[in-house]
Amino acid sequence: MSEDLTKLFTEEEKSTPELQQYVKKFYDLVIKERSLKKQLDEIKESRMTAEETLYSSLEDINLELIRTKDGTFYRRIDISANFRPGEKEKGFIWLREQGFGNLIYEIVNARTFSAFIKEFKEDKMAELPEFINMSIRKKIGFRKK
């Protein structure tokens, strides 16, 4: 059980029992979410260790896969690649030379774009063009002391 949050309200803030109840419920859920995230992080770490051990064990005995009643477990290698910072243009030239220029396309970072739109709306109070989708979600921020 969490601490008594009614201490957070001063008399001049016009706190009602209903508001205190909402704050307490929200706070309890924030604490529960943080606890679950911590547990999930610990589980992910354990799973990664188990995965590395299983992969090494399969590799040591030269097995590609194991079939069980729960499913098939198999070795695989995933590769991720990107261009070094500042080398994107060289990378694009190289891709075109290899005949893979069709992999190149322009993108806009979603978070940066959202921040731009927020600032644009605050500064200019202008209407956005119809080709821009915007959604608003009202949230409560919370920081632990």
Across the strands, what pairs with 68? 71
Is 141 contained in some domain?
no
pTM: 0.63
Average pLDDT, stretch 70-89?
91
Q: Is the pLDDT of residue 49 over 80?
A: yes
Residue 128 is predicted with a pLDDT of: 82
Is 143 contained in some domain?
no
Q: Is the pLDDT of residue 98 over 90?
A: yes
Is 142 contained in some domain?
no
Question: How many percent of the chain have pLDDT more than 70?
Answer: 88
Regarding whether 23 and 44 lie in a shared domain, the answer is yes
Helices (H), the chain: 17-60, 88-97, 110-124
Q: Which of these three, 39, 60, 79, is where a domain ends?
A: 79
CA-based max dimension of the chain: 72
Query: Three-state SS for 65?
Result: strand
DSSP H or E run through 6:
none
Mean pLDDT of the chain: 86
Regarding whether 102 and 124 lie in a shared domain, the answer is yes
Average pLDDT, stretch 51-75?
93
124, two tokens:
């200019």
Average pLDDT, stretch 35-41?
98
Q: Give the residue numbers spanning the domain of 88.
A: 81-135
Regarding whether 62 and 4 lie in a shared domain, the answer is yes
Is 64 contained in some domain?
yes
Question: What total of structural domains would you count in the chain?
Answer: 2
Residue 1 is predicted with a pLDDT of: 41
Q: What is the DSSP string of 21-36?
A: HHHHHHHHHHHHHHHH
Regarding whether 10 and 34 lie in a shared domain, the answer is yes
Q: Is the pLDDT of residue 6 over 70?
A: no
Cβ partners under 8 Å of residue 28, min gap 6: 2
